[in-house]
Each structure stands twice: as structure tokens, then as C-alpha cells.
Amino acid sequence: MNCIISKISDPYFNLAAEEYLLKNRNEDFFLLYRNEPSIIVGKHQNTYAEINWDFVNTHKLKVARRLSGGGTVYHDRGNLNFAFIRKGLEGKLVDFKKYTAPIQEALYKMGIDTKYEEHNSLNLNGLKVSGNAEHVFKKRVLHHGTLLFSTDLGNLEEAIDIRPGQYSDKAVRSVKAKVANISESIKSKLTIEEFESGIMHYFRESNPGCETYIFDKKEIQQINKLKVDKYETWQWIFSYSPKYKFSNAIKLDKGNLEVMMDVDKGLIKNASISGSLLIPEKLRELEISLPGLYHKPDQILKAWDKVAGKVSFSQRETYAILSAFF
């Protein structure tokens, strides 16, 4: 087995690295990495329905879509991500317990006794500390998961805001769970770096012949290309979402605004706009202008500004109006 500790905290790079190793190499890999603050949605989820749009924009969080299914997770430098990328027998590749078991054993060696629970999670003292997901490609499997060690749980709670009332679709929904940090349940004062080293030490000890793997220059170029061409794109992150119906309403001092839209592959197909923020003729003009645009903040804002014209709205009001569309 090849062992990698990524020193790169860019979620797009690390997700691309997982896919590169899965689809372009034949060896087995064990990978550890930590990302900067970001939200990672599952492959089959509606991204907008899973995130707190206002919080994400205010805090400039990166939003990414991973290759595997399952629910949305929050990453920051206090969360350790692990990934197994291995070959196996066709039809026997999906096995969550097989890949969570060595993680549990590594944690146990460090005095952390977790339990495997429903939804493929690891719990500590009844609280979730690890979520897991898998993706199969030919005769290889990617199993990856999170380990909440010293994550900002306040930001986690705020960033992942599930709002089923606004989005109607057939996307996979995240299952809300009570979470905790591993660091809060251990007596020793480990740093996240020491925790990471402890996990890797266990795998080196339990897998004789485990070798450190370092990406060469050509591989980094290929991973970066995959990152730019796929993982950083709005098309993959947002428009890959299943088609959905969206509805929302806001109320400001100057009036109210009600929005309804049908969106497919990121494109607005139909829109219904009503309220008292603009005269009916202007609202109808906006309504007509939206179909054919992408459900993106910059395109929505441009359409609004064009219709609103000389009507004066403060920056705060404009932001509130924009939020009505998300």
C-alpha cells in the first residue's frame, strides 16, 4: 500500500487527487488530508438545497462536489479526511465496515473507542465524529471519510443549512446528526497534526511494506488539470444537481418579493415573480428575462439591475433581494 499525507489544503485539488488515483493508477493507496473551510456535497445532491447561501457568501467558503454519493459535510483545518483507494473483486467492492474498521482500530490504539452506526458513520459517546462515502470505478473503489477532531462546530452548523421547504426535487438529502469533536473526549492534549501522525503511524505499522508516495511533476499537472476542468467549475458544483423547483419569499420595508422557478441542469426554465418591490410591469419583465439564464448570483443580479433601473435600493436591500433567489 502507498501512503500519502497531502500538505495541500485546497479541497478541489484533494478531490481531484482522489479521482486521479482511482482512475489512473492500479496500486492501493491510503490518503490523509485537511482542507481549508469548505462545504463538500455528495454527487447526487442539489447543492443550493444543502448550503446556507448567505453564510457561505459572507464567509467566502468554498463549495465543492465530490465523486461519491451520500450527504453534505463541512471541512476545515480541524477535520482530518481519509481515503482508501483499492482494487478488489467486482460485486464485492462496496463494503463500508471493511474500510471503517481499520480507522476504528487506529482510533482505539489512541484511546478513542468509536462505534459503527447507521448511515455509515462512526460515533463517539453517541455523537457522530465521522461520515463515510464510497464510489466504484471498474474494479477499484474509493472509500473516504471525515474525522472531526477540532472542527469549528458553530460554523459547521451554520454552513450546512437544509431547507426542504424551498427546493422540491429528487436529490439525495443529507441526514441531520448530532456531531462532536474527538478532541473533546480524549484526556491527552493532542494537536491535529499529532492526531494525523498517529493515524498514519498505525497504518504503517499494520501494513508492512507501506511506502510513502509523492506525486511527481507530471501527476500534479494532471491533477491540477482535472481540478480546473471539473472540480472548480460551476457546471460540476451546481448545474450537475438534479432538476428542481424553487420557491422563496422575502419582506423588506419597501415591499415584498415572491419567487418561483423551475431549474434543470442549472438553467432557469420557467419563472414566476410577484410582490410589491417593483411595479407589476417591471416584475413581469424580470419574469420573462430569467428563463435561459443560469441559476447563478451574477446572472440573477444583472437581470434585476437591468429591470429595476433607476429604482433606488441600498446595498443591504440589494443583497436581501438577491438572497430571495437562493
Long-range contacts of 206-209 (CB under 8 A, 24+ apart): 206/102, 206/105, 207/1, 207/3, 207/30, 209/1
Residue 229 exposed, middle or buried by CB count within 10 Å (0-12, 13-18, 19+)? exposed
pLDDT in tens, 169-183: 888 878 778 999 999
Contacts of 128 (CB under 8 A, 6+ apart): 117, 121, 122, 148, 177, 178, 179, 180
* CATH class of the domain defined by 244-323: alpha beta
Q: What is the pLDDT of residue 310?
A: 79
Q: What is the pLDDT of residue 201?
A: 95
Q: What is the pLDDT of residue 170?
A: 80
d(CA 209, CA 229): 35
Which residue in the block uniquely carries the three cell numbers 430569467? 290
Look up the pTM and report it.
0.94
Helices 192-206 and 96-109: crossing angle in degrees, nearest 10, is 110
- Give yes or no for a contact between 100 and 116, defined as CB atoms under 8 angstroms apart: yes
Q: What is the pLDDT of residue 177?
A: 85
**pLDDT below 50 — which residues of the chain?**
none
Q: What is the pLDDT of residue 164?
A: 60
The CATH number of 2-239 is 3.30.930.10
- Domain residue spans of the chain: 2-239, 244-323
- Give yes or no for a contact between 64 and 237, defined as CB atoms under 8 angstroms apart: yes
